[in-house]
Each structure stands twice: as structure tokens, then as C-alpha cells.
Amino acid sequence: MTVFEIVQLVIRVALAVVFVAMGVLHFVPGPARGMAAMIPPGLRGTGVLAPPVLVAFTGVCELAGGIGLLVPATRVAAAVCLIVFLIAVFPANAYAARHPQKFGAFGTPLIPRALLQLLLIALCVVCAL
């Protein structure tokens, strides 16, 4: 293994742990309610688009993406899907950032949250190389 491949492996494992842990939180009642509240009013709907359904769906996405990073056959697809996922959920993070009094720890200020999202996207790119 080259140094780059070792670094990739470490990043893949670390990202997998992060995404799986966050995915699991989507199914824990307290955090799931907080995540549902983070969905901006303009994106709220009923039925398939109801906030609890969206939270469960995004939890499954994070679980699948995290696990997919560890499977050689799905590594690139998982990294690409996680990049799309990180872009797709950013409006909810931005909404929470604008309402920190309502979201507490989930209400990370916008600039640090945007930088974290960009870092996660960059790490996903490294996983996909």
C-alpha cells in the first residue's frame, strides 16, 4: 500500500464511522425530532415529504453511504452519493444556523457549518479517487 492509499483508508473508516453514527441518530427519538424541526418551512410537506419521513430517509442515506465507503465495489458510488447528500441537506443546516436559540447544538453558526460541509465533501472526494 502507498502512503496515499493508507491515508484514503483512514479517511474512509473515519467518514464511515461519522456517517453511520449520524445515521443512527436519525432513529433516536430526541435527535430525530430536532432534525425534523430543522427542515425549513418551505420544504415541509405531508405524506412522503413529512419531516419524520425525510429524517428517516436521510438517516438511511447516511447509513448506506457510510457502509458503502467500506465496500470496495461501492466506494466511489457511496462517496458521490454522500457528496450529493451533503449538498441536499445543507438548507436544513443553514435554517438551523439562522435559528440557534431554537436548535441549540444543531444550530452551528453558518460559516463553520459551511466549512465543515466543504471539508466533508473534500474528504468524500479523496475517498472516491
The residue among 90, 106, 82 whose CA lies nearest residue 18 is: 82
Q: What angle do CA 122, 126, 79 make, to 5 degrees?
A: 80
State pTM to two decimals: 0.88
3-state secondary structure of 72: coil
Range of the domain at 119: 3-128
Those residues whose C-beta lies under 8 Å from the C-beta of residue 113, and which sit 6 or more positions away, are: 93, 94, 97
State how far the Cα of 68 lies from the Cα of 73, in Å rounded to an integer.
8
* Number of domains composing the chain: 1
Task: Render 2-20 in DSSP notation, one character per residue.
Answer: -HHHHHHHHHHHHHHHHHH
Structure confidence by residue, pLDDT tens digits, 65-110: 999 999 999 999 999 999 999 999 998 888 888 887 787 766 778 8
What's residue 14's pLDDT?
A: 97
Cβ atoms of 59 and 75 closer than 8 Å: no
Mean pLDDT along residues 36-55:
82
